[in-house]
Amino acid sequence: MQRAAKCALRLDLSRAFCLEVNVNVCMLKSLPPPRDEEEKAMLDSMLRVDHAGEYGANRIYAGQMAVLGRTRTGPLIQYMWDQEKMHLEKFNEILGEHRVRPTLLLPLWNIAGFALGMILTRIEGTMSCTVAVEESISEHYNSQIQTLMEAEPERYTELLQVMLLKNFVMMKKKNRDTGLEHDAESVPGYLLLKTVIQVDCKAAIYILQRI
């Protein structure tokens, strides 16, 4: 239990270094209006998934706060949570402006995120979970960035900036956390856990793009 808390603390401290970068994310302008049906569909699904991701991250932090709210790490988690709230607001704005449909699974995401947040504070393999999740999401952002770059980089400069920043943040974190991951490798079934999480992330992204 304590190790999990320590891991959470180290995780959060490493993210704290990236706060400045995150703040810049929120001051960007939005996208140009879509040119035709295909582009609108592509942007729609991308924004929907990203919005759902931010929403989920929000709920995960809420879950973590519910458990660790009154401990030492409470204020730090609260601080991170506030950052995520700003991201979510930004995405809400973009969705509203571009008339993108939010995913139908939001209530489910709400509960699942909260439960996951609570679980993450308890289990020993927190670090491995986090690294696995960050890897999947990083891969997802990479593919989105590739799609945008292939289409037309100039049109999507702001959105690309958002994604590149988030990706960069996650990669930096991942490098720091990989060391910590070795602690978690002692957890039995570590590989299984990691695979399960990555498959889950991929499935979630697939579904969210469509529903």
On whether 87 is known to bind a ligand per the annotation, the reply is yes
Regarding 29 and contact with other proteins (CB under 8 A), the answer is no
Number of CB atoms found within 10 A of residue 88's CB: 18
State the sign of the Cα–Cα–Cα–Cα dihedral 202, 106, 96, 133.
Answer: negative
Regarding 140 and contact with other proteins (CB under 8 A), the answer is no
Site for other proteins in 73-112 (CB under 8 A): 91-93, 95-97, 99, 101-102, 104, 106-107
Regarding 118 and contact with other proteins (CB under 8 A), the answer is no
Task: Name the residue nearer to other proteins (CB basis): 111 or 196.
Answer: 111
Task: Name the residue nearer to other proteins (CB basis): 20 or 36.
Answer: 36
Site for other proteins in 37-56 (CB under 8 A): 51
**Distances in Å between the alpha carbon of 84 and those of 123, 166, 167?**
23, 12, 15
Report yes or no: 60 and 84 within 8 Å, Cβ to Cβ. no
Task: Name the residue nearer to other proteins (CB basis): 91 or 141.
Answer: 91
Closest CA to 87 of 66, 112, 46, 56: 56
- What is the phi-psi region of residue 189: left when phi exceeds 0, alpha when psi lies from -120 to 50, beta otherwise? left
On whether 54 is known to bind a ligand per the annotation, the reply is yes
Annotated binding site for Fe cation: 54, 84, 87, 134
Using CB under 8 A, list all residues that contact other proteins: 51, 91-93, 95-97, 99, 101-102, 104, 106-107
